[in-house]
């Protein structure tokens, strides 16, 4: 299949959708990102790579980072992670306090903010220098495309992340966090500030398309069963309160971030990453979601 030609077709067809979303200006450090940026990258399990536009430019991956810490936590304690976090779609905004209170401090899933903090807490409990451990893991998966913390974004998140702080304190009040709230928040804000390009993301999550094995090195990252679990959670919870729309229009497990990135996995075939900073009302990349819909329509690469 000529993926390069397909990416070029998509780039043309999404042009009318630019200007209809809004950059995540509630995080001051992200407010200045050029809204017209757009990149796509595809990595196949056979080792082929394809990219278009701003695919090599690093950007703030934000909540996509939750997949990295979820993978790390599963490597450390496997199914014990589900003792403090659920597996169900939230149906509410990703930072809802009301839902967390209603459900007695048990986050609905590990990909909303409260659930991701619980997962980060697990990772902290199993590492001596958690920020370094997360960065090392991401750099290993992303390879030459690299990864780094954007300290300006991390500071901006800390200075304005009052709702996240409230979620963390609420979790602590219910005994869902073992580590100090300030420690959990520091690591969480830093993991969200990670920068990667579309090319780096498509490479980093290729193991989710290959039964948990990293195709380049043949190293096993997680087991096939754990891979199935993560892909399932991505499909049902990865796009916040728009998971139904994404499953309907795109039909792949995916995870978004308010930096405008989306990563999607076609099990057994490929990993695809897109970046366009303008967001829709659910906090997902508007142009990115349309690009993924066009990709699965043109290629037939859907799990349905």
Question: Catalytic residue positions?
Answer: 63, 66, 188, 240, 258
Q: Residue 145 half-sphere exposure, CB side, CA atoms within 13 Å?
A: 23
Checking DSSP bridges between strand 261-266 and strand 254-256, what pairing results, if any? antiparallel
Q: Determine the 3-state secondary structure of 271 from DSSP.
A: strand
First to last CA, the chain: 19
What are the backbone angles phi and psi of residue 130, rounded to the nearest 5°? Answer: -65, -45
Which helix (H) or strand (E) segment is 44 a member of?
A: strand 39-44
Sheet of strand 39-44: strand arrangement: 49-53, 39-44, 270-275, 261-266, 254-256
Residue (of 86, 81, 123, 87) closest to 105 by Cα position: 86
Q: Residue 96 half-sphere exposure, CB side, CA atoms within 13 Å?
A: 22
């Amino acid at each position: 299949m000529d993926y390069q030609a397909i990416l070029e077709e998509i780039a043309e067809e999404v042009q009318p959708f630019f200007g209809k979303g809004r950059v995540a200006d509630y995080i001051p450090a992200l407010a200045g990102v050029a809204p017209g940026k757009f990149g796509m990258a595809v990595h196949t399990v056979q080792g082929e790579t394809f990219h278009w536009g701003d695919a090599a430019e690093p950007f703030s991956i934000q909540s996509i980072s939750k997949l990295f810490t979820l993978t790390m936590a599963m490597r450390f304690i496997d199914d014990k992670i589900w003792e403090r976090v659920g597996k169900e779609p939230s149906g509410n905004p990703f930072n809802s306090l009301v839902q967390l209170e209603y459900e007695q401090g048990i986050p609905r899933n590990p990909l909303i903010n409260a659930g991701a903090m619980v997962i980060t807490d697990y990772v902290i409990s199993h590492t001596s220098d958690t920020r370094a451990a997360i960065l090392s893991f991401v750099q290993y998966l992303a390879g030459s495309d690299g990864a780094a913390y954007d300290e300006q974004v991390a500071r901006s998140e800390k200075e304005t992340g009052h709702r996240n702080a409230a979620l963390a304190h609420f979790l602590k009040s219910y005994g869902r966090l073992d580590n100090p709230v300030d420690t959990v928040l520091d690591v969480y804000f830093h993991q969200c500030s990670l920068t990667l390009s579309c090319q780096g993301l498509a490479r980093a999550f290729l193991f989710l398309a290959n039964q948990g094995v990293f195709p380049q090195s043949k190293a096993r990252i997680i087991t096939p069963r754990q891979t199935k679990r993560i892909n399932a959670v991505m499909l049902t919870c990865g796009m916040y309160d728009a998971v139904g729309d994404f499953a309907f229009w795109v039909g792949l497990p995916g995870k978004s971030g308010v930096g405008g990135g989306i990563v999607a996995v076609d099990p057994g075939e490929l990993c695809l990453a897109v970046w366009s900073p303008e967001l829709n009302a659910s906090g997902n990349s508007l142009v990115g979601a349309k690009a993924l819909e066009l990709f699965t329509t043109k290629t037939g690469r859907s799990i349905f």
